[in-house]
Structure 1
Amino acid sequence: MKKIYFLCTGNSCRSQMAEGYAKKLLSSRDYIIQSAGIESHGLNPKAVQVMLEDGVDIHMQTSDVIDPVYFAAADLIITLCGDARDNCPVIPPTSTHVHWDLEDPARATGTAEEVMNKFREVRDTIKVNILALAEAE
């Protein structure tokens, strides 16, 4: 089984959405999937809401900091923001590292609908990227 680790700053939005899509769209027989952050900011309810809109329930996922044991054993490490890319531990030589530079939807400003649309935009980009991973296998 291949281990995938999605990393972002606070493990509240981007990496949580990536974990949810990966668990839904990649074979559980072939992958172990986790997400974490440089810090733990708690699961963002807006991320939960936009994922539910697309049929993926992430409300039971937890916001975690990087687990050094899982990190060292991960086959694929995907950073979803510059902060995670720049501040995560040195990528193990046995791991493949991919970087998806995604805006933090939790920092979106504007009306409630504009903020939710930013969450949807980031969600949709993550889904496209996860589908590309599935096709590559």
Structure 2
Amino acid sequence: MRYIYILLSLSMLFACQTDASLDPKTKTEILLSTTWQIQEITASGYLNGTVYQRGRTAEGSQYDMSKIRLTFYANGTCLAIDNTGNNTASGKWKLINNDSQLQISETNYFVLDGIGEINSLLKTEFVFSGTRNYKSAYVNASVKMVPAP
């Protein structure tokens, strides 16, 4: 009887653990594993400093980006929800240059379309940076995204 109790305990222990083989390992798998939301944006150029930081008051952030979401799909498409939470844009995405850069295209949003450097891509954060033209001036930005709840 004692052995049955031990076997049941061990089987319950293993059943409660997550399957490590399901954890995303590659950059593509990590991008596909969640919907991403913006945690923080810092910029230089036309805009300077911390443009947005989740949890800061409106006085502390220049723009409200709390509703922005970005979802990547295995078929090479992506879906973005804008800062109002009401409008969506779909486009295409791919990793390029040995997975060191992310290219997004065909969304018709100048902020999204283009190539960004992947600075960090983990299950808990996705940081990328790049340059975009905004109001006839260049903005260099770094965007930190985290999984959306």
Q: TM-score, normalised by structure 1?
A: 0.30
- Of Structure 1 and Structure 2, the greater helix share is in 1
TM-score (normalised: structure 2): 0.29
